[in-house]
Amino acid sequence: MDAGKEKFRDSSSADSTGHGNTHIEFYDPSKESIWTRLGLNFESFKRAPGVTGDRLVAGDLSEAQIEQIKRDTPMLQAKMKKRHLTMIAVGGSIGTGLFVGSGAALKTGGPAGILIGWIIIGVMLINAIGEMSILYPVSGGFYTLAHRFLDPGFAFAMGWNYFLQWAVVLPLEITVAGTTVNYWTDKVPIAVWITVFWVVIMIVCLFGTLGYAEEEFWSSCLKLLIVVMFVFIGIVCICGGGPTGGQYDHYIGGTYWQNPGAFSNGFQGVCSVFVTAAFSFSGTELVGLAASETPDPRSTVPGAVKGTFWRITIIYITSLTIIGLLIPWTDERLLGGTSAAASPFVIALDNGKIPGLNHLVNVTICISVLSIGLSCVYAGSRTLTALAETGYAPSFFTYIDKSSRPLYSVIAVLVFAPIGYVNVVAAGDTVFLWLQAISGLSTLVTWGSICLCHIRFRRAWKVQGHSTEELPFKALGGAWGSWLGLTLVVLVMIAQFYVALFPVGGVANGGERAQSFFEAYLAAPIVLAFWIGGYLWKRTTPWRAHEIDLDTGRKSWLTVEEMRRYREERKASPLYIRVYRMLFTN
């Protein structure tokens, strides 16, 4: 066999209809050089044979055989390890929303308002995505699942909405990274920093999935360390243990909850916090996308999903509680909300006269926004590729190179980065308000779609004669948990509609009211327009439960009896192991 043929592996299969064995050749990336797999030579940019439309190399195959091949040969290589997926879930979405956006939310909603907003949004993050991703670790994640379980037209709207969400967030994050540097110096024009961070992101993208995963692992470790450190320092300061001469050299307790108060704008202020909270949680659903690039989703995804719960309780709620106790919502430095100087983390450390740590937090903020920028490229490119595979985007976006990069899809997301340069002109602020309006509600639409997918999946699972005991991982609360999440999404959308019509502080005239409404609610009509467009294009209707495909891409085929034996064996484990599994794994 020549060198070219050695890069393929043979396999044979037979279907239940009696077709004879047919030999199929699969592309084996492990036969490539280390430089090709890492994406560091020209060979790596060539199209990987056999991973898209030309996947089937030879043979007259039955439908059953083709589906078996699709299950066994995922489009993207499984490069992520368990530690990568765990840290993506635990720290991947910690960024601008928590470190910077929480300051503006504190100003608008007050200390009690931000806790209510973040807790309600956090409840939506149930582990329905984990249940489906473990059973179906398919390329495109929840977009592909929506295409299968709901309606291709609705999936088209959700997929393009999700792509736009990340494509628009990329220039926003790059600009915030640039303004973060202004905390130390304003001598260098913001355009220079935007260019620097854009180039850094492109360099990391050269390493594909592995580059993203490694960057997320180490940046998440740093972010978690800083947040935990801040919580301990904050507790000491609240109790009066701060340095002499600072604002926290005496006991303050809940002083700022009493004066100026727990709420800054009442019910209206609480409603205005929801979108900021949702933005801070965006990226949590990346576990569903990453499942297809993980060797063993069954063992890695449950721990990553359960890590979401610990992030909500320990990282977000605890740190926001500390912030609300340390900083009054009347602090004028919270007004900006767009730079590191407006970060409540930095403000609290400055107030306490704690030297050095404010700079460390600022470095972390800079790294965090770069991390989210890379998440933009990862999530946007994978979704665009999945859209192309299902015929809802140009076919050239299905191009996957030998380093497992969806090359054209990655480029498509990266070209949005130069929008950040509008920040250097007078109209930049206006442009950025509209970009934020596009991405504002997108996260809520995505989570609502995931909940709806899970509800329809569970219904089809039951109608087609399956038992929930067959599932390798069951979402907390089952379908009822997804109904709760979907209900909360609808309620938050209604609350945001109210705030869009009647914004905090009011408006002077009808023209300003219209602008205020679309700045807060623009994502909703965009999704609706995509949905209508998808229907007019393909004329699809929602799947009925008995029509839903539950077999293609399915990884677990264990029977009820086999799953019962598996769970009985696990029950025989020592108590401490069972407790650990319950909290952190499956």
Q: What is the CATH number of the domain that holds 203?
A: 1.20.1740.10
Does residue 228 surpass a pLDDT of 80? yes
Supply the pLDDT for residue 458: 92
Location of structure tokens 């977009």: 143
- The residue segments making up the domain with residue 355 are 82-555
Whether residue 444 lies inside any domain: the answer is yes
Strand 8-13 to 22-27 pairing: antiparallel
Supply the pLDDT for residue 14: 39
Do the beta carbons of residue 281 and residue 488 sit within 8 Å?
A: no
Does residue 450 surpass a pLDDT of 70? yes
| 69-73, 188-192, 403-407, 456-460 — most confident range | 456-460
Does residue 375 surpass a pLDDT of 80? yes
- What backbone phi and psi angles, to 5 degrees, belong to 121? -65, -40
Burial class (CB in 10 A: 0-12, 13-18, 19+), 433: middle
Whether residue 355 lies inside any domain: the answer is yes
Whether residue 146 lies inside any domain: the answer is yes
Instruction: State the pLDDT confidence band at 24, using cuts at 50, 70 and 90.
Output: very low
Instruction: Give dist(CA 85, CA 210) in Å, integer.
Output: 11
Supply the pLDDT for residue 239: 92
Closest Cα partner for 141 from 336, 332, 301? Answer: 301
Q: Residue 436: in which H helix or E strand, if any?
A: helix 428-440
CA 92 to mean position of chain CA atoms: 8
Location of structure tokens 């060198």: 3
Percent pLDDT > 90 in the chain is 7
Cα radius of gyration (the chain)? 25
Tell me the β-bridge partners of 26. 9
Location of structure tokens 């109209």: 427
- Please report how many Cα atoms fall inside a 13 Å half-sphere around the Cα of residue 482, on the Cβ side: 24
pLDDT tens profile 238-247: 998 888 888 8
Classify residue 576 as left (phi > 0), alpha (psi -120 to 50) or beta: alpha
For residue 501, give the 3-state DSSP assignment. Answer: helix
CA 448 to mean position of chain CA atoms: 14
**For residue 402, what are the CA distances in angstroms to 139, 273, 382, 415, 511?**
17, 44, 16, 22, 53
Closest Cα partner for 337 from 102, 522, 554? Answer: 102
Does residue 444 surpass a pLDDT of 50? yes
582 against 211, higher pLDDT: 211
Choice among 62-66, 90-94, 228-232, 269-273 with the minimum mean pLDDT = 62-66
For residue 339, give every residue at least 6 positions away whose Cβ sits within 8 Å of its Cβ, in sequence order, or none.
Answer: 100, 176, 179, 180, 182, 183
Find the mean pLDDT for residues 550-579. Answer: 70
For the chain, what is the domain count? 1
Q: Residue 182: in which H helix or E strand, if any?
A: none
Whether residue 30 lies inside any domain: the answer is no
Instruction: Give dist(CA 239, CA 241) in Å, integer.
Output: 6
Supply the pLDDT for residue 436: 66
Whether residue 459 lies inside any domain: the answer is yes
Spell out the alpha helix ranges (H) of 25-141.
34-38, 63-72, 82-91, 96, 102-124, 128-135
- What backbone phi and psi angles, to 5 degrees, belong to 10? -90, 150
Does residue 13 surpass a pLDDT of 70? no
- What backbone phi and psi angles, to 5 degrees, belong to 24? -120, 145
Cis peptide before 394, with omega less than 30 degrees from 0? no
Instruction: Give dist(CA 418, CA 171) in Å, integer.
Output: 7
For residue 118, give the 3-state DSSP assignment. Answer: helix
Do the beta carbons of residue 12 and residue 24 sit within 8 Å?
A: yes
Supply the pLDDT for residue 578: 65
- Please report how many Cα atoms fall inside a 13 Å half-sphere around the Cα of residue 179, on the Cβ side: 21
pLDDT tens profile 143-175: 888 888 888 888 888 888 889 888 888 888 888
CA 99 to mean position of chain CA atoms: 17
Does residue 194 surpass a pLDDT of 80? yes
Supply the pLDDT for residue 171: 87
Whether residue 259 lies inside any domain: the answer is yes
Instruction: Give dist(CA 247, CA 128) in Å, integer.
Output: 45
Instruction: Give dist(CA 381, CA 386) in Å, integer.
Output: 9
Supply the pLDDT for residue 153: 86
Does residue 322 surpass a pLDDT of 90? yes
For residue 328, give every residue at least 6 positions away whose Cβ sits within 8 Å of its Cβ, in sequence order, or none.
Answer: 256, 259, 260
Instruction: Give dist(CA 486, CA 507) in Å, integer.
Output: 31
pLDDT tens profile 486-505: 888 888 888 888 888 877 76
Supply the pLDDT for residue 80: 66
pLDDT tens profile 66-114: 445 554 444 555 666 667 666 776 666 677 778 877 888 888 889 998 9
Does residue 459 surpass a pLDDT of 90? yes
Instruction: State the pLDDT confidence band at 341, using cuts at 50, 70 and 90.
Output: low
Location of structure tokens 């309780």: 313
Supply the pLDDT for residue 303: 64
* DSSP E strand boundaries for 338-441: none
Supply the pLDDT for residue 312: 64
Supply the pLDDT for residue 51: 44
Instruction: Give dist(CA 178, CA 413) in Å, integer.
Output: 19
Whether residue 395 lies inside any domain: the answer is yes
Supply the pLDDT for residue 306: 65
Whether residue 361 lies inside any domain: the answer is yes
Q: Report the length, in residues, of the chain.
A: 586
Mean residue pLDDT across the chain: 76
Do the beta carbons of residue 448 and residue 486 sit within 8 Å?
A: yes
Supply the pLDDT for residue 549: 85
Do the beta carbons of residue 122 and residue 297 sit within 8 Å?
A: no
Supply the pLDDT for residue 177: 79
